[in-house]
């Protein structure tokens, strides 16, 4: 596939899972009506970003894969003839949970999945309490619309993850995301964080010569424990081409972004910027060390 119409579903939280899934499904239908063949959903899109606090009751939110979400979105993918990238709280076994992206093929089947590899542990982002680091590696998922290099949120800060997906033949990089500001931060600090987030992901497009698509949550979500100030998710979902050029960018409200990706440009860009050719793979051994003392 040379040209691909992609939809990014940027949403705010609803009162319960049923309403959240219904709203997401409506946006997927609208995306298909606009001609999208690939629909991308934000991180943990079936409910709240529950990692603001450590609460064992939240493990009850997890589900098996296959399970209720893959059944529902699989049926929708089959009906509409679209590929959907979901992001779910996976219960793999008792006491073993992952933050997992599932790619659903247009026939409704599960094309593949990716378990989040880099797990943060920061104030309001206590993910290490919930998620076991992924064990599936950095492997793109082959679909009818191309080879999808799916990563998740915190992975987006690591050039190694993007590079390994590109080296495995990914046609584009996809980042379901849940990131926002601490409302107590000064406006200048908030802007620095947002700019850094966009810049690092655009750099992955440049360094690897492939498009990058990132879809983020929007809206304020309070800390249910009352200990923190909550998170204002900044949205700003975007798509960038293989030279880092911005093709579409959302704001801080709910939004459906539909963008055309020209996948042929990756070949053309890699011919003039042959970064993969010039890599010094004979001199990178220290990359597997934590730090060079």
Q: Which of 5, 37, 43, 221 is catalytic?
A: 43
Q: Please give the Cα distance from 232 to 12 (Å, whole number).
A: 10
Q: Please give the Cα distance from 143 to 281 (Å, whole number).
A: 29
Q: Please give the Cα distance from 293 to 291 (Å, whole number).
A: 6
- Strands 212-216 and 231-234, by their bridges, are unpaired
Q: Please give the Cα distance from 209 to 56 (Å, whole number).
A: 42
Cβ-contact 24, 39 below 8 angstroms: no
Q: Which of 5, 37, 113, 116 is catalytic?
A: 116
Q: Please give the Cα distance from 142 to 25 (Å, whole number).
A: 23
153 is catalytic: yes
Q: Which of 58, 105, 113, 153 is catalytic?
A: 153
User: Which tokens sit at 106?
Assistant: 């247009």
Closest among 98, 61, 50, 56 to 228, alpha carbons compared: 50
43 is catalytic: yes
Closest among 189, 172, 170, 173 to 181, alpha carbons compared: 189
Half-sphere exposure of 167 (CA within 13 A, CB side): 13
Q: Please give the Cα distance from 108 to 15 (Å, whole number).
A: 27
Q: Tell me the C-alpha to C-alpha distance, in Å, between residue 258 and each of 36, 39, 144, 171, 239.
A: 7, 9, 19, 18, 9
User: Which tokens sit at 196?
Assistant: 């850094």
Backbone angles phi, psi at 136, to 5 degrees: -100, -5
Active site residues: 43, 116, 153
């Amino acid at each position: 596939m040379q040209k691909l119409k992609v939809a990014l579903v940027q949403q705010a939280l609803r009162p319960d899972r049923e309403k959240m899934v219904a709203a997401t499904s409506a946006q997927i239908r609208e995306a298909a009506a606009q001609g999208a063949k690939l629909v991308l959903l934000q991180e943990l899109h079936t409910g709240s970003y529950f990692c603001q606090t450590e609460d064992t009751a939240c493990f009850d939110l997890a589900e098996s894969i296959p399970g209720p979400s893959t059944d529902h979105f699989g049926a929708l993918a089959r009906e509409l003839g679209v590929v959907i990238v979901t992001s779910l709280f996976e219960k793999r076994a008792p006491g073993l949970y992952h933050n997992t992206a599932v790619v659903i093929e247009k026939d409704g089947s599960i094309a593949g999945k990716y378990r989040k590899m880099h797990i943060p542990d920061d104030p309001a982002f206590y993910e290490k309490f919930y998620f076991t680091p992924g064990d599936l590696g950095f492997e793109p998922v082959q679909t009818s619309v191309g080879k999808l290099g799916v990563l998740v949120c915190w992975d987006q800060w690591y050039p190694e993850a993007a590079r390994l997906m590109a080296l495995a033949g990914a046609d584009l990089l996809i980042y379901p995301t849940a990131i926002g500001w601490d409302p107590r931060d000064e406006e200048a600090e908030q802007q620095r964080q947002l700019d850094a987030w966009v810049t690092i992901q655009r750099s992955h497009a440049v360094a690897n010569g492939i498009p990058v698509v990132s879809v983020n949550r929007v809206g304020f979500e309070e800390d249910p424990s009352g200990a923190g100030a909550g998170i204002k998710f900044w949205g700003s979902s975007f798509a960038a081409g293989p030279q880092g050029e911005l093709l579409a960018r959302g704001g801080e409200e709910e939004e459906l972004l539909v963008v055309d990706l020209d996948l042929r440009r990756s070949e053309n860009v890699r011919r003039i910027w042959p970064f993969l050719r010039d890599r010094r793979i004979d001199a990178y051994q220290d990359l597997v060390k934590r730090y060079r003392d």
